[in-house]
Chain A
């Protein structure tokens, strides 16, 4: 597997609490992504980054923010978690016009 580490792997949190998911890469790839995977919806892009401090919204960005202060780290924050954000979250990395490489995912449950 490409050098991508997601943390935590599992998290249970309560509605209204802030949550931060971390993605760390050791590949020095320029692009980093956050996706969520839900049954019937496949993978939907939340945010992506095309460089340090350069980010852009994806298909389902409402309720999420991201930060990338270093090449290797891409953080996804749920400012106030809701039950609709219960999902499996995947981080991915790539170079320009190259395939994505995925992390192992974070299973988030919001109660």
Chain B
């Protein structure tokens, strides 16, 4: 069965500092992995995906994520956080049936 875990309910970081939002997954076969962001009272927006190839993928708004097959992880990163990055972040996995399974979400708070 597919599953995604986001071990941190909340991450706090100061503006200008690097940020990491953690995600681990469990799936049979090769995973397709995704990150989404949700701003207050909004729908979810796609940030980036890993399908195959380079383990470091770059996405929207300066975010990137690193796929680590041995640790079954797909952590979201950004070198320098902005206050406007404060939002709810979701990791998702889809394979093999094109069903998408989401983690429980991590609230990112970036303080000035």
A and B pair up:
yes
- Are B101's CB and A59's CB within 8 A? yes
- Are B98's CB and A31's CB within 8 A? yes
B25 to chain A minimum Cβ distance, whole angstroms, is: 14
CA A40 to CA B49, docked complex, whole Å: 24
CA A101 to CA B43, docked complex, whole Å: 9
Apart from A42-B104, A99-B46, A104-B42, what are 11 other A-B pairs with CB-CB below 8 Å? A31-B98, A33-B100, A42-B90, A58-B99, A59-B101, A94-B98, A97-B94, A97-B98, A99-B34, A102-B45, A104-B43
- Are A96's CB and B98's CB within 8 A? yes
- Scan residues 88-112 of chain B and give those whose CB is less than 8 A from a CB of chain A: 90, 92, 94, 97-105
Total contacting residues, chain A, CB less than 8 A: 27
CA A35 to CA B49, docked complex, whole Å: 20
- Scan residues 29-61 of chain B and give those whose CB is less than 8 A from a CB of chain A: 32, 34, 36, 42-46, 49, 51
- Are B103's CB and A99's CB within 8 A? no
CA A45 to CA B42, docked complex, whole Å: 18
| Among candidates B45, B46, B100, B105, residue contacting A45 with C-beta atoms closer than 8 Å | B100
- Are B51's CB and A90's CB within 8 A? no
- Interface, chain B (partner A; CB < 8 A): 6, 32, 34, 36, 42-46, 49, 51, 90, 92, 94, 97-105
- Are A101's CB and B98's CB within 8 A? no
- Are A97's CB and B32's CB within 8 A? yes
CA A90 to CA B32, docked complex, whole Å: 21
Q: Chain B residues with Cβ under 8 A from A31's Cβ? A: 98
Q: Chain B residues with Cβ under 8 A from A22's Cβ? A: none
| Among candidates B43, B98, B99, B104, residue contacting A102 with C-beta atoms closer than 8 Å | B43
